[in-house]
Amino acid sequence: MSGLTTDRTGLEQPRLPGASTLLRSLADQLRMHASSPMAVFSALAMPCVFAFVVHSSASDRNATSDLAVGSAGVGMLDSIIVLVVISLLGEKQWKTLYAALGSPGGLVPVVLGRLAGTAVQSLTALPGTLVILALLFGVDGGFDWARWLAGGVLLAFSTASVVGLLGFAVLRYPYSAGMTNGLTGLVMALSALIVPQSALPGPVQKLALVLPQSHVMAWVRGGGTAEVLWAAALTVVFSGLVVLAVRRLENMARRQALPLEA
């Protein structure tokens, strides 16, 4: 293919290879999610229970914006990990990976589309968790709605970028039921979702700085613009690592006949 497309005037216009594949992949992910009530429930159950346990032992019984975002982040993380595994295993099962490998964009648009779709899906946890917290404890008078909304959206996409590396592992290696054991708890701790980063042990604080989620939570808890910029930059870095990993997988599949759909 030439990488150009012809419009109604007969002039050739540059075409973005893989853009349509990415959008189709995103739409497929959302369509799968809409047909599964349990997928919606999974994004709500864990953060609501977790928020209840944590907040019921606190002296302040009103829901704050940082607690609402952090608790929703637990559900986002759990949901994204499960959905990434299921969606990419589905691609293997449906025998679509080799067809994508031969397309102009390769596997990258498929993987990025799936990750974007899971990030959008996980946003269910943001209002869902707040509703439960508000019903149980009420909303704090100083609730920062802007940081709750912006922080929650940024948290979902930053989490998807980090979990995207798991997507590479699912495509590269045969799936094992224990592949994700402990992953939710590890990333949750490093993301500073429930407690501030300053409350983490010294060495863990340094590791937390590598994840964009910890910077998102620092901003939600009252941090400055620098925290948002760090979160956005690290999200781009992790997304770039996902692209590089998938490109490497493509090269291995072509040169070494690596089985992708086994």
- Alpha carbons 41 and 75: distance in angstroms, whole number: 10
User: 28 near 117, Cβ under 8 Å?
Assistant: yes
- Indicate the pairing of strand 12-14 with strand 4-6: antiparallel
- Alpha carbons 96 and 138: distance in angstroms, whole number: 48
10 vs 177 pLDDT, higher one? 177
Is residue 242 classed as helix, strand or coil in its secondary structure? helix
pTM to 2 decimal places: 0.82
- Alpha carbons 135 and 12: distance in angstroms, whole number: 57
pLDDT digits (tens, 9 = 90+) for 40-98: 666 677 677 766 666 666 656 678 899 899 989 988 998 898 888 888 888 887 788 88
Average pLDDT rounded to a whole number, residues 172-187: 82
The type of residue at 185 is G
Q: Which residues contact 216 (CB under 8 A, 6 or more apart)?
A: 69, 151, 154, 155, 158, 227, 228, 231
Residue 73's closest CA among 245, 221, 217? 217
**Residue 2: which pLDDT band, with cuts at 50, 70 and 90?**
very low
- Alpha carbons 209 and 85: distance in angstroms, whole number: 26
Is residue 65 classed as helix, strand or coil in its secondary structure? helix
The b/e string for 144-166 (b: 16+ C-beta within 10 A; e otherwise) is beebbebbbbbbbbbbbbbbbeb
pLDDT digits (tens, 9 = 90+) for 116-134: 999 998 898 899 888 888 8
pLDDT at residue 239 in the model: 96
User: 220 near 147, Cβ under 8 Å?
Assistant: yes
**Residue 7: which pLDDT band, with cuts at 50, 70 and 90?**
very low
- Average model confidence (pLDDT) for the chain? 83
